[in-house]
Amino acid sequence: MTPEEQLAETVRVEGARVLATLIRTLGSLQRAEDAVQDAAVAALQAWPRDGIPADPRAWLAVTARHKAYDVLRREAARPGKELAAAGGAALVAPDLAPEVLDMVEPESVVRDDLLRLMFTCCHPALAREAQVALALRTLAGLDAGAIARGFLVPEATMAKRLTRARQKIAQARIPYRVPPDAELPARLASVLAVVHLIATESHAPSAGEHLVRVDLEAEAVRLARLLNELMPGEPEVLALLALLLLTAARRPARTDAAGDPVPLAGQDRSVWDQAAIAEASALLAEAVRRSGGVAGPYQLQAHLSACHSTAPSYAGTDWDRVVGLYDLLLSLSANPAVALNRAVAVTERDGPAAGLAALDAITGLARWHLWHAARAEALRRLGDTGQARDALRQALALAPTAPERRLLARRLAEMTSH
Amino acid sequence: MVMALYAALLYMPEGSDWMTPEVRAEHNVFGAAATEVIAGAAALYPTGSATTITVAGGPGGDVMVTDGPYAEAKEILIGLYLLEAADLDEAIGWAARIPTAWRGKVELRPVLPIGHRPF
């Protein structure tokens, strides 16, 4: 990282913490975002000249509060009609008397505000894609352009999504608070789903693909870490962080030099990040201890991922345990993608005939390339090259990305030459 | 705390009768439990009495009057509650207790803070 990037990163990370508190004191997400944005611009001008202050967050917090106060003072001087139009979104009277402007919030207050921000961004009254966008905008400090690149949507689409989400929060009065205990499990599930989605649905950038690298998988790990700090000992939070770390640990092996995906069976296990796997294992063990024998969906997924992370080889994986974990996961909620992965594990445990039967028992996946690819593999092992080729061709026709198509085309070529 | 108004718009499947003694009794249960938040309420006549009016082009444009409700969804609007709640979560909590929440749908719409209570 260059010094400039380091500076921008400090502003981005600390800005989120400043924002969390400012939303509460201003009662408006939009006003708080504007003020933090102004403070960030001021920081990027002042810090290279004067040096990074000893407490960057305090500097940003005080500067943002002054910026917000300036805006409110200007608005107060304007005629009533204009004020109503501009300030209709403000929920609580701004607590910005001059003597509190230079106050620095204690860490415990900032933590509470960050948790409020997490739950507000992931409020069920917002669409999932809006939750994801808001979380990345506010908690990760990414701008609309960066989020748009991460999800391969036009920047204008992402900007509109963020604007609508802010309006919904202001107009419907989505409260800025951590939900009461009775609602917490359901609301926490929404927060976990958003963080998980950021890791799984984002587009992993390959080197040189974008001018600015947007590493949303790393952002998801950071958000999961933050959540684990804010809600220590929560079993599903521990499990989600473990799951994300286990997935990230395979990153060096997940793609080849051309950026094409490498399936688990073909990955070079020697380049997996063992430190991350060790950290994840400890987190998962704590999740098990704290969950009282009732494993949630993220714990089951983390166990599954850990099965692979600790196996000596693909063939040496404990497939019986893998199938059992998929059975438990399916008992929580019927999900064709999980059923597909289970069928692949059945192929490894019981052979291709059993695997093919399990695959054919799943309905509703005929439009999914991975189902056809899994069928092709089971058929190939059964020696039915003709049907295997047909299945691969169908997978090829349905595969959504170029790297996946290249992988399937290679397999098809290998099968044809044999 | 300044309270906000929420309109709870009630939907039931087409062909439903929302004036049966059973349904009315359920609304009475809700009404008795929610006296502190109900700022106003209205049950509507069946959709046969509905008229849809559209204006073409904009203000002052041609007025078109058609018989029947505008909505083409499977549910039809059957009435509304105006809920006065501190925030959306509180309003959702009350909306979930409206009988229509299980007989159809309840749509919560924040009401613009213009003027005073309509009732």
What mean pLDDT is predicted for residues A314-326?
96
pLDDT category of residue B96 using cuts at 50, 70 and 90: confident
Render A124-145 in DSSP notation, one character per residue: TTS-HHHHHHHHHHHTS---HH
Average pLDDT over residues A264-293: 96
Q: What is the pTM of this model?
A: 0.84
How much is the pLDDT for A316? 95
Closest residue, chain B, to A91 (C-alpha): B2
Name B74's Cβ contacts closer than 8 Å, sequence gap at least 6: B13, B14
- B4 and A171 within 8 Å at the Cβ level: the answer is no
pLDDT at B118 over 50: no
> Under a CB-based contact definition with an 8 Å cutoff, are residues A128 and A9 in contact?
no
B110 closest CB neighbour out of A172, A175, A179: A172
Q: How far apart are CA A130 and CA A153, in angstroms?
A: 13
Least confident window among A3-7, A163-167, A292-296, B62-66: B62-66
Tell me which chain B residues have a C-beta less than 8 angstroms from the C-beta of A174: 87-89
Region B20-43: what's the mean pLDDT?
Answer: 88
Rounded-to-integer distance, Cα A203 and Cα A220, Å: 13
Among A282-286, A364-368, B87-91, top mean pLDDT goes to: A282-286
Please name each of the domains of chain B with its CATH number: 4-110 (3.30.70.1060)
Whether B113 and A173 lie within 8 Å, measured CB to CB = no
Higher confidence at residue A395 or residue A9? A395
Token readout for B18 is 């929302």
- Shortest alpha-carbon distance between residue B109 and chain A (Å): 7
Q: Contact at 8 Å (CB) between A31 and A24?
A: no
pLDDT at A89: 41
Quote the tokens at residue B13: 């499947």
Residues 6+ apart with CB under 8 A from A135: A118, A121, A122, A194, A195, A198, A223
Question: How many helices (H) and strands (E) in chain A?
Answer: 21, 0
Q: How far is the first Cα of chain B from the last one, in angstroms, to the nearest whole number?
A: 21
Residue with tokens 């390339």: A369
- Confidence grade of residue A63 (pLDDT, cut at 50, 70, 90): very high
Q: Report pLDDT for A97.
A: 63
Nearest to B87 among A88, A173, A183 (CB): A173
A114-139 pLDDT, tens digit per residue, is: 999 999 999 988 888 999 999 999 99
A171: nearest CA in chain B? Answer: B110
pLDDT tens-digit map of A332-385: 988 998 999 999 999 999 999 999 999 999 998 999 999 999 999 999 999 999
When pLDDT is cut at 50, 70 and 90, the band that residue A86 belongs to is very low
Q: Up-side HSE of residue B46: CA atoms within 13 Å toward CB? A: 8
Cα–Cα distance, A95 to A313 (Å, whole number): 60
